[in-house]
Amino acid sequence: MSRGFWLYGALIVAIQGLVACGSNPVAENTAQAQETAKVQKYDRLVVAFGDSLYAGYRLAPNEGLAPQLQAALQADGINARVHNAGVSGDTTAAGKTRLAFVLDNLERKPDLVVLGLGGNDMLRGIKPAETKANMVAMLDELKRREIPVMLTGMIAAPNLGQDYGNAFNAIFPQLAKKYDAPLYPFFLEGVVTDGALMLPDNIHPNAKGVSRVVEGLSPLVEAALKEQGDAVLEK
């Protein structure tokens, strides 16, 4: 595990930032929804389903994960809309509860869901077995609907102990293997240890930090979309 993982763990022990994210203004999601809705014609629909790290916590409408990922995909010639389904403060249990509602209210079936939850579970000390069970339920729902998925991982804070850390940190690689899903191992890799890429709370990325995340994430998203397109052509 990289040095950045452990430095991140030390930071979240001190700050406990993700737990407090439920206080984030509701306006952020509304504004981002309005921004992405401007793309009226598109070939691919990607859903970014996660917590505050996905929601665009305290960022301008065009600075969060969804709009920046959408811009990156379009810059690479993929006419995609990225739907922001991030909710600040969400646990895996909350995500499991709202997943079907989100999917049912989209304009069409998505080509890919990028799924990133678990940080708030860890900070609340929720048992890894419960986190994994909730993730399995969401992945099973996506599989039932025949919607491809990719995962972004999270890590446990060191103060939770080695046993907890080992169990929690194994969740995402295990599920990626089980469901044959692409995995971006740690959402904030290369970002959280650089103060210039973080908000003052030292737990959420600023606009430049999100850009760095997108640099690492977008190639995986593009590959997943290409694989999906190739599979359709083969049918």
Among this protein's residues, is 204 annotated catalytic? yes
Q: Which of 51, 52, 88, 90 is catalytic?
A: 52
C-alpha distance from residue 131 to each of 16, 60, 122 (Å): 18, 31, 8
**How many residues does the structure list for the chain?**
235
Instruction: Report the C-alpha gap between 140 and 146 in whole angstroms.
Output: 10
Ranges assigned E (strand) in the chain: 44-50, 80-86, 112-116, 149-152, 183-184
Distance, CA of 103 to CA of 13 (rounded, Å): 34
Catalytic status, residue 211: no
How many Cβ atoms sit within 10 Å of the Cβ of residue 219?
14
Does the annotation mark 2 as catalytic?
A: no
Marked catalytic residue, from 51, 88, 204, 218: 204
DSSP string, 4-44: HHHHHHHHHHHH-TGGGGGGS-THHHHHHHHHHTT--S-SE
Residues recognised as catalytic: 52, 201, 204
